[in-house]
A and B are shown apart, each in its own frame.
Chain A
Amino acid sequence: MTITEKILARASGKTRIQAGDVGFVSVDKVMMHDVSGPGVIKVLSEWEQKGKKLDHIWDPNRVWIAEDHFVPAADKVSAENIMILSRWTKKYGIKKHFKYGLGQYGICHTLSHEEAMVLPGEVYVAGDSHTNTTGALGAFAAGLGHTDIAYVLMNGKIWLKVPETMLFEITGTKPDYLMAKDIILRIIGDIGTDAANYKAMQFSGNIVKEMSMDERLTLTNMTTEAGAKNGIIEPDAVTESYLRERTNASYSPILGDTDAKFSELLTYEIDKLEPTVAKPFSPGNVSAARELQEIEIDKVYIGSCTGAKFEDLQAVARILKGRKVKVRTEVLPAAQSIYIKAVREGLASVFLEAGVVIGPPTCGACCGAHMGVLAEDEICVSTTNRNFPGRMGHVKSKTYLASPMVAAASAVRGKITDPRDIS
């Protein structure tokens, strides 16, 4: 069995399962945020209105809440949604509620690893499509909608179809101008945005083994853009040391069997891979950054669960140090803890001196919510994960998805730029 099959077998109380099986699995952790949460709470209260008493939920210690999409409250409705969450977590005794403006908070998929909310071998479901991110810790992590999360909160389990696994072997020697973002954009460009529908995408190979956790998280994060149910990387020494800096909780890592069956095996030798950009209006519409170097841009956005982790900000700062940006640029660290580190380690002053605005940790403009959305025809280079029409603002705005290094180099030149090409 693959690691995904073994985790799901464990969670369904079976010794053996295989891709294609449909059944219920026990959930270890569940999360909802200020967009999915009020929807989930609405499903639960409609259930109660039908005369079904719901005086407790399945396990308050396994439920956690993030405020990330519309914080700081963009308007009255989003302020009310935050209040709905606060009242609900108080009523059901949920202790892990990361509140905006009250210590650690940030984008849910960032908190899941920064705070070690999820551990290797666990089944983690959450009301957000980029839940796949957390699979980099060696967990089964998949996104669900309101009704499914409501069901989990009542029953502690959910139905799933066991996915087939596509295995991606990333090998070679990584040039220092290349980031995990370039690799995953190249993969999505090659396989297409629905190639992994209902499937797991697993990453291995020497490059993945050598990658830091922050970089691994970029790979699994964007498996969502290929349609994958989950992205996953087998836990190893990197995982262990990452988690030991963050938690004392014990866990039992699960690894795939050596004779595991994969639906596809794709090998990527990345020595000659170029910094890669996804053009509007699909994450699969990729080109080498150098082919787009004449495209003038209006702004650069460095944020989101994909591209505002600490190492992403370090990569940006390496390029911006001693330089000025030529177009409007925003950096929104993905969590308060990352923001603090960016201040302590001098990145924040590099950004400010380069002319960049630093915004509060939030999903912000990534989903077109607020904090720098795009105007008609405005062109943005962004470290985020989606560039569908209207994703970051006006339906005729254009977003080019890129690595933090490409985004920073583009900010310096005012045009889409390969990091090798800035003087």
Chain B
Amino acid sequence: MSNIDTDVIIPGPYLKIHDPKELAKHAMEGLDPEFPQKVSEGDFMVCGSNFGCGSSREHAPIALSQLGIKAILAPSFARIFYRNAIDGGYLLPIEIEQQTLGRIFDKDELEVDLNQNKILNLTRTESYVMMPFPKLVAKIVEAGGLIYYRNAEEG
């Protein structure tokens, strides 16, 4: 599914909430109110293009990360969702090729190899390419988020 927007990831009325546990209860409510019960620690989401379009609400990656989701694989991301996921250190937005979408199925066991920029599908013994993170973004990921990122240049 493409264009999954932040209004379905975490609807507007919950924006006044800032407790991650409370937000997580409503994650993806606009699409599937049972979603929080269906995912567990270490899960990945595999989605269509332009994931996270819409508002700048950081509540969106916070809610998904609180449910244990570690990465979202999609052909493209809306820019603010992408930044928030990386800079807040919540989860990895991983850009994959469009054709990879048809190769991955529900319950497949996946592993992300950031050194080789590959996604391994352990269930089907296949691997897929991922777009490498730009150098600076990779450093922020490694630091665990922008607040913890400091390089000599930036003091």
Interface positions of A (Cβ within 8 A of B): 22-24, 34-36, 38-39, 42-43, 47, 69-70, 74-75, 77-78, 81, 127-129, 131, 143-148, 150-151, 154-155, 157, 159, 161, 193-194, 197-198, 227, 229, 282, 367-370, 386, 388-391, 395
Contact = CB atoms under 8 A, between A and B. Distances in A.
A198 B12 CA distance: 24
B124 interface: no
B83 A389 contact: no
A319 B56 CA distance: 35
A35 B6 CA distance: 14
B53 A42 contact: no
A132 B88 CA distance: 22
A131 B56 CA distance: 10
Contact of A69 (B15, B53, B58, B137): B15
A145 B88 contact: yes
A229 B77 CA distance: 12
Given A127-B56, A145-B56, A146-B88, A194 B30 contact: no
7 cross-chain pairs, A with B, having the tightest CB-CB distances, nearest first: A145-B84, A368-B12, A145-B58, A194-B50, A367-B12, A129-B56, A146-B58
A391 B88 CA distance: 25
A398 to B, nearest CB: 14
B12 to A, nearest CB: 4
A43 B147 contact: yes
28 contacts: A34-B16, A35-B15, A36-B56, A69-B16, A70-B15, A75-B16, A127-B56, A131-B56, A146-B84, A147-B58, A147-B145, A148-B83, A150-B147, A151-B87, A151-B147, A154-B147, A159-B146, A193-B3, A194-B50, A197-B79, A198-B79, A367-B12, A368-B12, A368-B13, A369-B16, A370-B13, A388-B5, A391-B7
A282 B147 CA distance: 34
Contacts of B137: 22
User: Which of B8, B83, B134: most chain A CB closer than 10 A?
Assistant: B83
Contacts of A386: 5, 7, 54
B36 interface: no
B11 A157 contact: no
B54 A388 contact: yes
Contact of A197 (B16, B50, B88, B145): B50
Given A39-B59, A77-B16, A128-B56, A227 B50 contact: yes
Contact of B79 (A24, A36, A74, A229): A229
B52 to A, nearest CB: 10
Interface size class of B (residues with CB under 8 A): 35 or more
B103 interface: no
Contacts of A78: 16
B70 interface: no
Interface in B1-40: 3, 5, 7-8, 11-13, 15-18, 30-31
B57 interface: yes
Contact of B134 (A43, A161, A389): A161
B7 A389 contact: yes
Nearest to B145: A147
Contacts of B17: 77
A197 B80 contact: no
Interface string B34-76: 0000000000000001100111111100000000000000001
B95 to A, nearest CB: 11
Contact of A367 (B15, B31, B135): B15
Interface in B126-144: 134-137, 140
A419 to B, nearest CB: 29
A194 B146 contact: no
Nearest to A367: B12
Contacts of A150: 147
B92 interface: no
B104 interface: no
User: Which of B12, B17, B58, B154: most chain A CB closer than 10 A?
Assistant: B12
B84 to A, nearest CB: 4
B87 A194 contact: no
Given A148-B84, A194-B3, A391 B147 contact: no
A198 B49 CA distance: 14
A35 B57 contact: yes
Nearest to B89: A147
Interface string B84-126: 1001110000000000000000000000000000000000000
Contacts of B58: 36, 39, 145-147
B146 A367 contact: no
A23 B8 contact: no
A148 B146 contact: yes
Contact of B87 (A147, A154, A367, A395): A147
Contacts of A146: 58, 84, 88
Contacts of A145: 56-58, 80, 83-84, 87-88
A151 B153 CA distance: 16
Contact of B147 (A35, A47, A127, A197): A47
Contact of A389 (B8, B79, B89, B146): B8
A39 B57 CA distance: 9
Given A22-B136, A143-B80, A42 B18 contact: yes
Contact of B76 (A151, A159, A194, A369): A194
A188 to B, nearest CB: 12
